[in-house]
Amino acid sequence: MSARTPSADRLGRLLNLVPYLLARPGILISEAAADLDVTDKQLREDLELLWVCGLPGYGPGDLIDMAIDGDHVTISHDAGMDKPLRLNPDEALALVVALRMLAETPGIGTRDAIERALAKIENAAGDLADAPVAVKLPANQERLAKVRAAVASGNALRLTYYTPSRDETTDRVVDPMRMLMVGGFNYLEAWCRRAEATRLFRIDRIDAFTELDEPSAPPVGAVPHDVTSGVFHPGPELPLVTLRVGRGGRWITEYYPVEQVVREGPEWLVTMRVTDLGWAQRFLAGQGRDVTVVGPPELLERIRAQAATALGQYAAPHGLAADRPAAG
């Protein structure tokens, strides 16, 4: 028997525990513990944790349910976890590449956990993990060190910065104030002369920068951000978006700050603030039928126009073919 396993090992065991128990209703806890190479005590703790796992909503029909009769256990509701996790070759390779990329990204505070997870997946993937895919991000490491040096020297910087919320790259001159890490990412906090306000610049989104031959001089009114609860702080000045989400879209309420959630049977009515409607349009375009936009009207019109353009692009080749003269 092994001693208490690390959290990463426990997560993998929990993911496979439900389908294992489903295939063996009424199994003895001691027998299951022996199969899984854990102690009876550890398995009982896993079962207690499973009781509060399931789908967003966390009500009847959402959480995993089971019956423990003395030393026997039976799963009565699997909450969709009825099959062990199996990755096809494309999924495994994509996960390997993503983890390699993440391991090379500066500012990530959980590198050890990432490397352990990567080693396990590479071991399970076998020859597939030996595919000629190398991920290196030396520029990010160098950029982080140089930005830190520039902040320490007290000079202003000219940045070329990518803003994903607007999908645009801009040039701006900033007066550095401090470096900080929030949510596993490194940020430069600085007074932006272009915006005339204090801004946070994520290091991995700085495409290029030049150290200027002038001192950093943030004005007296340059107040550092309070990042104790994260970087994004939605306020009343930001656009308000209303969504109707099904079971598969409820994750949005856990991942993003929301102002209100109204539960209407299987669907929820969710209101949330966004940085701008352009970001909301790009974000919602990637969601499936579990997410429907209710408002504002401007966002609805943007999405309709985007959908019409996409449909037109699909139809264009057929139209061209129809207009082409027949050979002969």
pLDDT in tens, 173-198: 999 998 887 766 788 999 999 989 99
In a domain, 279, yes or no: yes
Question: How far, CA to CA in Å, does 297 sit from each of 161, 188, 245, 262?
Answer: 31, 36, 18, 20
pLDDT at 156: 92
Q: For all residues of the chain together, what is the average pLDDT?
A: 78
pLDDT at 319: 45
pLDDT at 296: 92
pLDDT at 103: 65
- Above 70 in pLDDT, residue 85? no
In a domain, 13, yes or no: yes
Question: How far, CA to CA in Å, does 209 sit from each of 4, 160, 295?
Answer: 48, 6, 39
- Above 80 in pLDDT, residue 267? yes
pLDDT in tens, 196-234: 999 999 888 888 889 899 999 999 888 887 777 666 767
Per-residue pLDDT band at 328 (split at 50, 70, 90) = very low
Angle at 59 between CA 36 and CA 258, to 5 degrees: 110
Instruction: Give me the CATH number covering residue 20.
Output: 1.10.10
pLDDT in tens, 24-42: 888 999 998 888 888 888 8
Same domain? For 11 and 73 the reply is yes
pLDDT at 252: 86
Q: What is the secondary structure of 232-245 as a DSSP string?
A: ----TTSPEEEEEE
Query: What total number of domains does the chain contain?
Result: 4
- Above 60 in pLDDT, residue 6? no
pLDDT in tens, 293-321: 998 999 899 888 888 887 777 765 554 44
Of 174, 233, 230, nearest to 201 by C-alpha is 174
Same domain? For 270 and 299 the reply is yes
CA distance 246 to 57: 10
Same domain? For 107 and 170 the reply is no
pLDDT at 187: 87
In a domain, 18, yes or no: yes
CA distance 107 to 202: 10
pLDDT at 19: 84
pLDDT in tens, 92-119: 777 777 777 666 655 555 566 677 777 7
CA distance 202 to 136: 19
Q: Show the tokens assigned to 32.
A: 């299951």
In a domain, 293, yes or no: yes
Same domain? For 72 and 98 the reply is no
SS3 content of the chain, % helix, strand, coil (to 5): 40, 25, 35
pLDDT at 132: 57
Structural domain boundaries, residue 164: 148-215
Q: Cβ atoms within 10 A of the Cβ of 191, count? A: 22
pLDDT at 219: 92
